[in-house]
Amino acid sequence: MTDEQLQKVVDRLSSGNVNKRRGAAQTLSKAQQPPTNTHDATLLRALSDDDPQVRTWIALHLAGRNIHLEKVIATLQPLYTHSNSKVRLTALRALRAVNRHRAPALDELVAACTDSDWKVVCEAASGLGDLGAQAGTAVPTLIDVLGTGQRAPKRKAAFALSSIGDARAIAALADALVDTDCQRQASVALAGMQLPLDSIVTQLIAALDVPATHDNAFRALGHTSSEQAVATVLPWLRNPNCRTDPMGVAFAKMPALSAKQLGLALDYAQDHRSELSMEHAQVLCDVFVRSLWPEALTFVVGLLGAPSLGITHAASQSLSRNGDACAPALPAMTAVLRGSESIPKILVIRVLRSMGAAAMPVRNALIEAVEQDPSLAYEAAPVLGHVAAGSERAATLLCALAEPDLLAVALGEPSRNLRQALSALAGVAVGSQRVLALCERAATLDTTHRELAAWVLVCINNADPRS
């Protein structure tokens, strides 16, 4: 809207035609570009217009601009109970705008929850939801709306109760899970409440069987800590039609699982590991890794050798995401490194890469694994750089990885092994003749390898200036 158009709208507020004044006032309440302060005198006059609809639209406009709030409040006061429901509705919208800028007025919103017009009730419930915990005194009124109101007000009341976050609303929202008018909204509200929901576990479990409430019932179960909740969620992991996101949220939000609950989940996973999809296995692996329970971590490490590549990927991802927090799983990873299967070893090495120096206890097992299978050297190099400082054996393995590529790089062919080995040798920092010879030859190559070789020599000198 241009300034010229805006001026014409403001001018119509002085028209003798009430419909023109109403149209102008409504247009101003929605205008993206508000009038300048030079129009305030006209707006204030309109705030005293004979027509209540004009007054409410202008009040909404001024409240949105956060100006003349005291006069706005005085104008609105008699309009909350006006005989015209449109006036009452706009007055509440203006009050919501006022509440954003000053201490909220609750009484008017609470009173409006009993209005005969369902649109007014919806506006009042939404206004109370805006205020969050400040609207705690309105909880009984909103519970009444949830239980006896029309469809739209029920839904607004559910969301408002969730926003307020009062424990008194839990039972009413649980009862609403079977109300087809608002069951989905009730499940969303319960899932969004940051309160313990152990008292309604039975109703949440029943809601899992209803498509409208299924996903959010899972999320709400995340606010419980009973064995019953865990036992209920687990069998859904075998249902190929069940989305994993809600289940993952449920487990992620659950308070720290007890040893009994973890044992229940672990027994289930062991009994049904061959029936789990990659996505469902990911949920369980995330639960077990976050628990840091040694038995559960050992199970996840064991999945690295599963015949299903999807499940091995899920286990590897869960362990890698938690980095050095997975230290309790190091004994199980050591056993894998000393085994005979190469793929599990590679996956363990990738997990170790995410752990940094915390992988130190597996140093000897890792070196032995690479000595037995040199094809692991590329994956193992970054780990050796973190944990094998001063190890002649590790330096020898890294030199063996790098040396075959010296000629290829000299001929202009790409090589990742040489860069990987030089980067790791900087961490190992062993000044053996073989390492120094490798650095001397790498220094004759391109800039990247020359700089890496120089850095290795700096690290060796820092570790042992005599070298």
**% of the chain exceeding 90 in pLDDT:** 56
Residue 307's pLDDT band (boundaries 50, 70, 90)?
Answer: confident
State the DSSP code for 77. Answer: G
Q: What is the pLDDT of residues 384-417, one digit of tens each?
A: 999 999 999 999 999 999 999 888 888 888 788 9
What is the mean pLDDT of the segment spanning 325-350? 92
Contacts of 320 (CB under 8 A, 6+ apart): 350, 351, 353, 354
Query: Counting every residue, how long is the chain?
Result: 467
Q: In angstroms, rounded to a whole number, what is the distance separating the alpha carbons of residues 341 and 182?
A: 54
State the DSSP code for 412. Answer: T
Contact between 254 and 216 (Cβ < 8 Å): no
What mean pLDDT value characterizes the chain? 89
pLDDT given at position 277? 79
Cβ atoms within 10 Å of 99's Cβ, excluding its own? 21
Residue 35's pLDDT band (boundaries 50, 70, 90)?
Answer: low
Hey, what are 107's tokens? 């009484």
Q: In angstroms, rounded to a whole number, what is the distance separating the alpha carbons of residues 199 and 231?
A: 16
Q: Is the pLDDT of residue 467 over 80?
A: no
DSSP symbols for 218-241: HHHHTT---HHHHHHHGGGGG-TT
CATH of 1-103 among 1.10.730.10, 3.90.340.10, 1.25.10.10, 1.10.8.60 = 1.25.10.10
Instruction: Say which residue, 385 or 65, is predicted with more confidence.
Output: 385
This prediction's pTM: 0.69
pLDDT given at position 274? 79
CATH code of the domain made up of 388-467: 1.25.10
The residues of the chain that CATH labels 1.25.10.10 are 1-103, 105-212
Q: Is the pLDDT of residue 38 over 70?
A: no
Q: Is the pLDDT of residue 32 over 70?
A: no
What is the mean pLDDT of the segment spanning 309-328? 89
CATH of 105-212 among 3.40.50.300, 3.30.360.10, 1.25.10.10, 3.20.20.80 = 1.25.10.10
Poorest-pLDDT segment among 28-37, 229-238, 258-267? 28-37
Q: In angstroms, rounded to a whole number, what is the distance separating the alpha carbons of residues 354 and 430?
A: 24
Q: What is the pLDDT of residues 241-293, one digit of tens each?
A: 677 667 777 776 676 677 788 888 888 888 887 777 788 888 888 888 888 88
